[in-house]
Amino acid sequence: MVAVAVVLAVAVVLVPLVGPFQAASRAAAPAAPGRGQESVPDRLGAPLWGTDSVRERPLGRASVIFSSELWWWGEANGAVAVVGAGSDEYRVFSDDQLGRPGEQVLLSPDGSRVALTDRVIDLDDGQVRRLPRIPGVATTGPAAWSPQGDQLAVIGTNRANVVQPDGTEEYRVTRAVLGLVDLESGSLSTIADVEPPRIVDGFMVAFAPDGRRLAYQSGNAIVVAEMGGAERSRFTLPDDTRLAGKGAWTPDGRGLALVTQRRCCEGETYPSRWQLHVVDPATGQGLPAPVIPEQASLTALRLMGWSPAGEAVVARYHPEPTEKVVGFEAGIDITSAVRVSRVDVAALRPDAEPRILIATPVDDVQALDVASDLIASGASRRGQPPTGLGPNTKILIGVVMLALLAATTLAVLVVRLSRRRLLLPAPATRRTVSMVGSALAGRWMKICLAVVGVIAVGVPAAMLGAWLGWQSAPALPTEEQARKVTSEVLPGARIAEVARNPKLFYYEHEGTPDSNPVVRVLIGDDDYLAGSTEVKLASPLPAATETEERLRAAGWEVLASDPDGLVGTKDGLLLSVLPASDVDSRPAPTLEIVRDEPVLAPALSIIGLLIGGVLGTLLTTWIYRQAQAATQSVRRLANEGAVVASVLLLPNTLCVLTTPVETYLFASPGEVPYPPWLLYTFVGVRGATHLGWLIHAVILAVVLVTFLRSRAVNGGSDQPAAETTAA
């Protein structure tokens, strides 16, 4: 009856949780809502931890995209939230370049696509399309969508450490090129070189409403050009003034909006005011128009479009009060997460207070972008930010509940079987000196010691087997061989440096993303590499398709092709062709050659684990027999000392557990974690982790089951039985 009661109790808790999310997880991807139903929500909130990704469950057209580095206990890891155009369904995707919506991550005018560095995501099907690269530059990022959404203005950049007049080095843009991508044909045309010191994403390019002209910022100048690149006008601005944003052109195409920062005034907590004003795109002279009220105490102000009533629809960046005031001289850092507490959307008109279109809580929205077509339509709806648990979180809870249900059922069955056995006539019952002593006495002490022995001896043996297996891997290429491979794959490429690291290692970044990676020599991480040879290039990479063709022609089997680079394998080696990346501290294109995992490595690792497990069991059995020969007081001291030690180690075990839990279960939205290879489950950090939680799980089970056995023997009392027996 007890077992039935426990099972029913757990089921009562489990069914309400499992039912809804199972249905949700099996539901088909929603169709894109009808155009007549599309609108902008009037409020936003952080997506739930465990929200579906756009690649797993496409959303269709979106109204808003936004991000914050403070979601999920500060572990958002480049996640961007997507809000549906026809409903308040939320999805997420991950940008490994950590771009900010409205600046480096742009929503198309109709909300059907999102442009990121080097790629475009289709929200209707979740597919990713690679952008063509601008020749001579390392990365290509979006700058603005055309009004029809058929073309995308992009800016290609190179970055490097530049020595400042005071002798310090600054990592900044050294070259910038403005280009135009035709998304239907995939063709790329170059418009002009842009002066690099004044690159501020989100304030660089704006298309005219007719889609035939665009305005862009180059240094302190605004240039109005034809789509083919021919200049129509150019005028100069002061340092505190910029192109206002993607919505800079007035709806009739006759005016161009600029934004100016004024650092004042006394008594304001954040002395920074922003003013929009409209000029003639041909001359840069101001046009007669009603004055839009100045916006005070803001980090930045970005114009996204115009409402049907002629209001300027702006993104207002509210500051962290403790941060000092900066302007456009800070570059892209002007809107960095450390400076911005929240971003809301407001409609500005002359002689009136701002009308809030999208309200946002502090820390939930630090960057955003809104579909331009919806801004122009003026359609709005009551927003309903998500509450409760995310879909994937519910699935996780369901799995945990099922595991608890199985464990509870098993424990109840064990207790019932043990009770029946103990109620049979017996000459005597072992006297327990305490509940802890009883729990760890006899056969249970044997089991606990055996588990410790298997893991403690098996893990080093598995590590030894892995090391022996890696000795069968092919030799790491020499510098000469690496240069030869480079000439085969990238003919004509200029090599700046060849670096060779023959150790087992993995990369770990410390400090800012721009800091150099620290090489940790470690056996046991899921992403460790058995040595590497890196070829750093002094010339840009060709187009990805061209590089892939050359890889195949040189006999390499291409395993992966995505915006993060190409990966091929040949003769036991892995070759990665990696573009320059600010986030990965890779200022120049690089070819990295590593040794692939040899077949013997996992085999010898498992053999080592088995042999070590047998030896560990024999060792702990001998230790147990020696302990039984000791006096009762020594046994009691050893038993209770083991429990105290395990309790003291519990916090450390829980901390170490976060690594595999995060790797296996809680990967960043839209990302797939590294596969938990069988080999590394028993090696190094993973082995120590499993040892910790397994010891504690066994100890808890032993204490619980044996204590219940003791109660059964003593008629339900917590006191030990009166009978005694020799140890």
For the stretch 580-595, pLDDT in tens is 775 556 777 888 888 7
Out of 246-255, 604-613, 625-634, the most confident range is 246-255
Chain segment 150-193, per-residue pLDDT in tens: 999 999 988 777 777 777 777 778 889 999 999 999 899 999 99
With a CB cutoff of 8 Å and minimum separation 6, the contacts of 21 are: 391, 394, 395, 398
Among 296, 360, 299, 295, which residue's Cα sits nearest to residue 335? 299
Read off the pLDDT of each residue in 54-64 and give the average, rounded to a whole number. Answer: 91
Better-scored residue on pLDDT, 382 or 516: 382
Predicted local distance difference test score (pLDDT) of residue 620:
74
By DSSP bridging, strand 79-84 and strand 188-194 are unpaired
Is residue 419 pLDDT above 70, yes or no?
no
* Per-residue model confidence (pLDDT) at position 262: 93
Given a cut of 70, whether residue 560 has pLDDT beyond it is no
What CATH code would you report for 37-381?
2.120.10
In DSSP terms, 296 is beta-bridged to 273
Q: What is the pLDDT of residue 266?
A: 73
- Which is higher by pLDDT, 169 or 666? 169
What is 552-564 written as a DSSP string? HHTTPEEEEEETT
In this prediction, residue 689 carries a pLDDT of 46
Q: Note the pLDDT of residue 493.
A: 86
First to last CA, the chain: 35
The one-letter amino acid code at 203 reads F
What would the two tokens of residue 524 be?
Answer: 């046991």
What are the tokens at 487? 């000439």
Which helix (H) or strand (E) segment holds residue 713: the answer is helix 684-713
328-361 core/surface letters (b: 16 or more CB in 10 A; e: else): beebbebbbbebbbbbbbbbbbeeeebeebbbbe
The answer to whether the beta carbons of residues 115 and 65 sit under 8 Å apart is no
Cβ atoms within 10 Å of 672's Cβ, excluding its own = 9
Highest mean pLDDT among 237-241, 399-403, 723-727: 237-241
Q: Is residue 672 scored above 50 in pLDDT?
A: no
Per-residue model confidence (pLDDT) at position 647? 55
Q: What share of the chain is helix, strand, coil (3-state, %, to 5)?
A: 30, 30, 40
Question: Which range has the top average pLDDT, 98-107, 520-529, 550-559, 644-653?
Answer: 98-107
Q: What is the mean pLDDT of the chain?
A: 76
pLDDT in tens, 612-664: 878 877 887 777 677 667 666 666 666 665 555 555 545 444 444 444 444 44
Nearest to 157 by CA among 701, 594, 584, 582: 582
| Residue that wins the pLDDT comparison between 275 and 270 | 275
pLDDT-derived band of residue 395, with 50, 70 and 90 as boundaries? Answer: confident
b/e map 67-104, b = 16+ CB within 10 Å: bbbbbbeeebbbbbbbbbbbbbbbbbbbbbbbbbbbbb
Sign of CA dihedral 522, 523, 528, 529: positive
Q: Does the pLDDT of residue 676 top 50, yes or no?
A: no
Q: Report the pLDDT value the prediction gives residue 253, as an integer from 0 to 100.
A: 94
Is pLDDT above 80 for 56?
yes
- Greatest alpha-carbon pair distance for the chain in Å reads 108
pLDDT of residue 166: 77
pLDDT at residue 413, as a whole number: 67
- The overall pTM is greater than 0.75: no
**Percent of the residues in the chain that have a pLDDT greater than 70, as a whole number:** 67
Which residues in the chain are classed under CATH 2.120.10?
37-381
Query: For residue range 486-511, what is the model confidence (pLDDT) as tens digits?
Result: 988 888 888 888 887 655 444 443 33
User: Would you say 342 and 320 are in contact if contact means Cβ atoms under 8 Å apart?
Assistant: no
Sheet holding 241-243, edge to edge: 241-243, 256-262, 273-279, 295-296
**Taking the alpha carbons of 676, 511, 95, 388 in that order, is the dihedral positive or negative?**
positive
Q: At what angle do helices 479-489 and 544-553 cross, to 10 degrees?
A: 120
Give the C-alpha separation, 205 to 244, whole Å: 9
Instruction: Please determine, for residue 201, whether its predicted confidence score (pLDDT) is greater than 50.
Output: yes
| Residues 5, 506: Cα–Cα separation, whole Å | 50
Q: And the tokens for 78? A: 């480049």
